[in-house]
């Protein structure tokens, strides 16, 4: 991505609260106009801190943030013109919904008729056209969430920040709201920076996901790339399910490496992020990329495994095998007529492609 159409640029950002530990370590990130970028990571990984620095509530200890090519480190929050949806919505309890929405317009000295028009438009956008009068306390969680979104958009900001906005909702409502926010983003051509620790939310909504851990962006890519081509063991483990083996590289042939898991068992894997012969590596393999009972010789990796546990999930059967001394090897077997039915305790051959098995850094 070229930096010309970047709306937000973090340049060499570092942040420390106590002068002893860095919460954000050297962050460089561009957010393009119209992009939906999600900062994903476990709690304490620095993602919310980054959002707060962008909103202006936390000063960066080092580095510069640019908004529309203007440095904003010294711009106070109320002059940044960035919309924000807070974790608990932060709807003002002493104002009605309409007053809440009118607040940003009022402080911008907009005249009354235009204010009312805009408030109405914003409420219609979140399908709450008739909900101007109640106080926030009288709203359901989903309604309050919509009002919070409407309020962050009512003054037409280019950029909207969302800090785990769906965390307080139950599962069904959360999924529905994910689509609604996504559609609003698409319809209005907004730029959204979204913080969450829920990976499925991130995968559903984002154009790009920046995976944070330990104050560092581990990988920043579109969801399919992130899922299918994780760069390191943390990302592989954090996004989606994966089976992992830890072993020693015994042979390096450019595109692939051979990794010895235990005495005699050698796996052929795609070389992604390993040092070379003799170093340790984590192998990562998605459960749906494993073939049960393959033809002999059709795959480079074929091992015998014992089915320990089968969980029936309708469209697929989740099966736990013991393979190569690991008893937590998960395989998702599609529920199709062609597939052989396994029973607990059966021993079968299972195999996978070298392409699907990624040799990564030795994590811990």
- The CB-of-53 to other proteins minimum distance in angstroms stands at 13
Rounded-to-integer distance, Cα 317 and Cα 174, Å: 26
- The CB-of-161 to other proteins minimum distance in angstroms stands at 8
Closer CB to other proteins, residue 94 or residue 343? 94
- The CB-of-14 to other proteins minimum distance in angstroms stands at 22
352 HSE (CA, 13 A, CB side)? 25
Classify residue 353 by burial, with Cβ atoms within 10 Å: 0-12, 13-18, 19+: middle
Closer CB to other proteins, residue 88 or residue 347? 88
Closer CB to other proteins, residue 108 or residue 339? 108
Closer CB to other proteins, residue 81 or residue 167? 81
Closer CB to other proteins, residue 158 or residue 175? 158
Closer CB to other proteins, residue 56 or residue 287? 56
Rounded-to-integer distance, Cα 159 and Cα 161, Å: 7
Tokens of 206: 């984002």
User: Given the rule CB under 8 A, which residues bind other proteins?
Assistant: 55-57, 76-78, 80-84, 86-88, 90, 92-94, 103-104, 107-108, 151, 155
Closer CB to other proteins, residue 83 or residue 287? 83
Classify residue 243 by burial, with Cβ atoms within 10 Å: 0-12, 13-18, 19+: buried
Closer CB to other proteins, residue 84 or residue 125? 84
- The CB-of-56 to other proteins minimum distance in angstroms stands at 8
159 HSE (CA, 13 A, CB side)? 20
- The CB-of-170 to other proteins minimum distance in angstroms stands at 22
Q: What is the largest CA-CA distance in the chain?
A: 79
- The CB-of-104 to other proteins minimum distance in angstroms stands at 4
Q: Which residues touch 187 (CB under 8 Å, ≥6 apart)? A: none
Closer CB to other proteins, residue 3 or residue 88? 88
Alpha carbon distance, N-terminus to C-terminus of the chain: 32
- The CB-of-63 to other proteins minimum distance in angstroms stands at 22
- The CB-of-18 to other proteins minimum distance in angstroms stands at 12
Q: Which residues touch 145 (CB under 8 Å, ≥6 apart)? A: 89, 165, 166, 168, 169, 177
- The CB-of-59 to other proteins minimum distance in angstroms stands at 14
Are the beta carbons of 226 and 209 closer than 8 angstroms? yes
Rounded-to-integer distance, Cα 159 and Cα 76, Å: 16
- The CB-of-91 to other proteins minimum distance in angstroms stands at 8
Closer CB to other proteins, residue 57 or residue 179? 57
């Amino acid at each position: 991505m070229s930096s010309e159409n970047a709306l937000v640029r973090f340049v060499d950002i570092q942040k420390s609260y106590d002068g002893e530990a860095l919460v954000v370590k050297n962050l460089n990130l561009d957010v393009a106009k119209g992009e939906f970028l999600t900062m994903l990571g476990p709690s304490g990984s620095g993602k919310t801190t980054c959002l707060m620095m962008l909103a202006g509530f936390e000063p960066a200890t080092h580095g510069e943030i640019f908004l529309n090519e203007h440095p904003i480190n010294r711009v106070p929050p109320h002059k940044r013109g960035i919309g924000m949806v807070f974790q608990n919505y932060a709807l003002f309890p002493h104002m009605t919904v309409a007053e809440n929405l009118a607040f940003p317009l009022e402080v911008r000295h907009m005249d009354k008729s235009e204010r009312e028009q805009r408030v109405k438009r914003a409420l219609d956008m979140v399908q709450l056209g008739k909900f101007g009068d109640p106080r926030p306390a009288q709203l359901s969680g989903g309604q309050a969430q919509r009002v919070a979104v409407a309020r962050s958009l009512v003054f037409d900001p280019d950029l909207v920040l969302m800090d785990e906005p769906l965390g307080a909702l139950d599962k069904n409502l959360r999924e529905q709201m994910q689509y609604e926010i996504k559609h609003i983003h698409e319809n209005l051509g907004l730029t959204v920076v979204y913080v969450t620790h829920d990976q499925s939310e991130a995968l559903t909504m984002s154009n790009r996901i920046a995976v944070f851990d330990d104050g560092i962006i581990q990988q920043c890519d579109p969801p399919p790339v992130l899922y299918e081509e994780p760069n390191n063991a943390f990302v592989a483990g954090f996004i989606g399910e994966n089976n992992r083996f830890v072993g020693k590289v015994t042979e390096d042939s450019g595109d692939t490496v051979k990794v010895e898991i235990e005495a005699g068992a050698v796996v052929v894997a795609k070389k992604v992020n390993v040092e070379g012969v003799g170093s340790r590596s984590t192998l990562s393999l998605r459960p749906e990329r494993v073939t049960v009972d393959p033809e002999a010789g059709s795959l480079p990796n074929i091992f015998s495994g014992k089915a320990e546990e089968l969980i029936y999930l309708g469209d697929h059967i989740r099966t736990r095998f013991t393979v190569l001394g690991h008893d937590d090897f998960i395989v998702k077997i599609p529920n199709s007529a062609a597939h052989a039915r396994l029973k607990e305790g059966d021993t079968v051959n299972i195999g996978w492609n070298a392409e699907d098995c990624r040799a990564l850094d030795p994590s811990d």
